[in-house]
A = this chain, B = another copy of it.
């Protein structure tokens, strides 16, 4: 059987799992790939550590060094797999690998969020695999690129980050507050010491941008889209959600209407019956609506060495089989897509949930509803409760559909009222 020889840059959790999978599942992988896959060389920071890992994996014949050029200059190596993280340094490896006429595989969503449209033209027929970059083990890249390729994608809504989903699940199912849930996630190894990227929505934003390119061929940068995190969610919000049949999830949402694409990441109330509402703990789930397929949903582990390795190795197998689709799924620009633009955040049209703490005195509700009304916002559900401070009541309400610009203007006006005791909080209601 012929061989496909690969080199790996980075030998952390995912890198070791990739090598482990290739060795443990060698037979089935080569039967599916039609070639034997050999890891010839691994680039690491710490050679001594790497040698220990390799000994544990019974893979001492794999070469180890610290200089990526050792892989790039090795003519036998046909595929470079980047698993080291970082943005610019990883991008440089992509450039060098493709220039050296090697296929390129990466699990690096942050790098792709910035450089996917720099890499695509460099590929020039060489396969570039990035199944592992979004939702770990769920083959969502292939679903959008191949499985649903007949469709105009009307909408994507995804729980794209396991850490924040774990925290939200804990808050909702065990009445924990945000910081307790976060600490627990950190203790369990689900959250990094610095959890900012997970909690702020930044990581989900990177993934959403990759999915949006496959769906729409749109190039947008993380800084250009609406990204809100889960830090502001309070037990009151969960109480309201429960009362009115919602679950709170951090969603990445993409929608296209005519030549505008809407891309946003934010916490969201979604109906308890929706399939996405069942995606709990560290799991990920993505709902995709296509004009022919209707709604379909994909669920699985979003992170972890083995699940991510499953995707990296699937890319290797695809390359061994001679995969030839363009990196981002479009062999040529979609007609009319040169005019595609990002929808202005102000133009988002949604239902909203609003949390207000108000001075408990007559006439406040009237004031609130008057201001909302002046901004074309009408109230749907309403819940008012006392707080521990008997002068302050909490007012939790949902609106009918309205524009983001209107809700923001209304909240700004409300914030200025003497009777409002804290900055109002809003959350979108979708699905």
Contacts and interface: CB of A to CB of B under 8 A. Distances in A.
Contacts of A188: none
Nearest to A139: B147
Interface centre among A150, A293, A307 (most CB of B within 10 A): A150
Interface string A331-353: 11111110000000000000000
Given A150-B21, A313-B149, A27 B336 contact: yes
B317 A150 contact: yes
Given A148-B314, A330-B31, A307 B293 contact: yes
A9 B279 CA distance: 41
Nearest to A35: B331
A275 to B, nearest CB: 6
Contacts of A325: 321
A298 B296 contact: yes
Interface string A11-52: 000000100010011011111111000000000000000000
Interface string A233-244: 000000000000
Contacts of A24: 291
Contact of A147 (B292, B312, B314): B314
Most B CB within 10 A of own CB, among A30, A31, A293, A312: A293
Contacts of A150: 21, 25, 29, 309-314, 316-317
A69 interface: no
Q: How many copies does the complex hold?
A: 2
Interface in A281-305: 290-301, 304
Nearest to A295: B300
Nearest to A135: B296
Contact of A142 (B31, B146, B301): B146
Given A34-B326, A149-B29, A324-B321, A300 B310 contact: no
B300 A293 contact: yes
A52 B296 CA distance: 32
Contacts of A296: 137-139, 298-301
Contacts of A139: 142-143, 146-148, 296
A278 interface: yes
A322 B322 CA distance: 9
A259 interface: no
A365 interface: no
B148 A335 contact: no
A306 interface: yes
A424 interface: no
A55 interface: no
Contacts of A306: 292-294
A131 interface: yes
Contacts of A295: 300-301
A133 to B, nearest CB: 14
A329 interface: yes
Contacts of A33: 149, 331
Contacts of A100: none
A152 interface: yes
A217 interface: yes
A1 interface: yes
A151 interface: yes
A143 B1 CA distance: 25
11 contacts: A21-B150, A25-B151, A25-B291, A137-B294, A147-B311, A148-B310, A292-B307, A294-B307, A296-B298, A297-B297, A297-B298
Given A32-B331, A292-B313, 19 more contacts: A1-B332, A17-B292, A25-B151, A30-B332, A31-B331, A31-B332, A131-B147, A139-B148, A146-B146, A147-B311, A149-B314, A149-B318, A150-B311, A293-B311, A294-B306, A295-B300, A296-B299, A296-B301, A324-B324
